[in-house]
Amino acid sequence: MLNDRPLQIEVLINSPGPHDEVRIRQPFAALHSWGVNCRIHERPFLFNRCIRPHSLVIWQRPLPDRWERQMEHLQWLRERGCLLLTEWDDHPDLFTAAIQHQLQRTQMAPLVGCHAIHSSSPALAHALAPLNPITLVVENGVNSIPALRLEKHHSSELRLFIGNINRAEEHQDLVSELKSWATKTTQLTVVIVGDTQLANQLTPHMKVEQHPLLEYARYRQVLASCHIALLPLKKGRAQHCKTVIKWAEAAAESVAVVAGPELYSSVGHDASDDRTCAIGTNAITTMALTRQLARDRDARKKQVMAAHQWVGQEWSLDRLLGQRLGAYRNLWVRRQQLDQRLLERLGDRVPLLQQRSFAQ
């Protein structure tokens, strides 16, 4: 009987950094605190030292050097009764040219050569379905939602947060509007995390507080010190495959959000039709909405209150953890069926898999 194997989880972090905190470290640490048998391993790792037989293996963004290497990993895991899930957070088109080339050269091996894809975006799951139709979608949750802080919005100063990783192109569209705004006020400080080019362009013209890429806890502290955050995401299928976690983090820290036209319309208003995120269609309208929120503190506080309440109700990690655990348990019970689906999908491309059975 397959069901007599208890669920145990091995998480492999291939690309460590601040970006893995919400997707990997926090949820699996929380599951561990619930008594779930799960462990996290950072590269470099050796399978035979860190992966126990009969484990659910979740591998964050693997990048094998060739197709055959991925198949070797997959077969090693199958022979020990392990399921392999590839954790993938972005559309392949958003990766650097070097990573895109490696994916193409290996025939998209990390996405094809696994039992299922582990993602936080339904749109990304749909986009990747031609490569692997089986995807586990688990929502990103916000760990630690502080109490609502409206008093900071009484300040005459305004701190504007821009801290979106790998969004230099979107940030560039804001430069002229930000410079124009700076000529009309001395109370504005632009708080920039990570985008050195943007900071250098704005520094001669306005007050800028520049930070390098930050550890997650420090990132949340800097965000919490601000009043408005800009998320100027452009339209496009690849961008639509991201998640609204940055909006949720800002809302948790009582920060009003003004966002671009893609993705964030889903959190523009809550069920009561209260505005929870201001949506601009381009750089001009985005900055116009930002200046409006800067002037109208009552409207800003109302938006902050609605967003903070909604995030607490639906995006809290604690609230989402049970759904995540249930999804993992459901996959684990069905592991033999999922392995059979994998063999059928890969077919003659990997004859070795057909010759070796999934360990029970």
* Identity of the amino acid at 314: E
pLDDT digits (tens, 9 = 90+) for 239-261: 889 999 999 999 999 999 999 88
Task: Assign residue 217 the CATH number of its domain.
Answer: 3.40.50.2000
| Strand-by-strand arrangement of the 37-42 sheet | 37-42, 8-13, 56-60, 83-87, 116-119, 135-137
Q: Yes or no: say if 328 and 38 are a contact pair by the CB < 8 Å rule.
A: no
Please compute the mean of the pLDDT values over residues 122-134 and round it to a whole number: 95
* 202-213 b/e (C-beta count within 10 Å ≥ 16 → b): beeebebbbeee
8 pLDDT higher than 50? yes
94 pLDDT higher than 90? no
Look at the chain and report how many structural domains it folds into: 2
Q: What residues contact 329, with CB distance under 8 A and at least 6 apart?
A: 7
Pair (304, 325) in one structural domain: no
Please compute the mean of the pLDDT values over residues 216-236 and round it to a whole number: 93
Q: Yes or no: say if 161 and 226 are a contact pair by the CB < 8 Å rule.
A: yes
Q: Higher pLDDT residue, 109 or 356?
A: 109
Is residue 360 included in any domain, yes or no? Answer: no
1 pLDDT higher than 50? no
Q: What residues contact 278, with CB distance under 8 A and at least 6 apart?
A: 256, 257, 258, 259, 268, 289, 290, 292, 293, 303
pLDDT digits (tens, 9 = 90+) for 136-176: 999 999 998 999 999 999 999 999 999 988 888 889 999 99
238 pLDDT higher than 90? no
181 pLDDT higher than 60? yes
pLDDT digits (tens, 9 = 90+) for 64-76: 999 999 999 999 9
Pair (28, 118) in one structural domain: yes
pLDDT digits (tens, 9 = 90+) for 194-221: 989 999 999 888 999 999 999 999 999 9
42 forms beta bridges with 13
Pair (110, 218) in one structural domain: no
Pair (172, 132) in one structural domain: no
Nearest partner of 290 among 182, 148, 130, judged by Cα: 182
Enclosing domain of residue 350: 2-141+317-355
Kindly state the DSSP code that residue 253 receives in the 8-state scheme.
T
Structure confidence at residue 82 (pLDDT): 95
* Identity of the amino acid at 203: T
Rounded Cα distance between 321 and 219, Å, is 23
Pair (109, 207) in one structural domain: no
Pair (321, 310) in one structural domain: no
Pair (228, 347) in one structural domain: no
Q: Yes or no: say if 167 and 262 are a contact pair by the CB < 8 Å rule.
A: no
Structure confidence at residue 352 (pLDDT): 66
Pair (267, 308) in one structural domain: yes
Structure confidence at residue 354 (pLDDT): 65
Pair (54, 190) in one structural domain: no
pLDDT digits (tens, 9 = 90+) for 328-349: 999 999 999 999 999 989 877 7
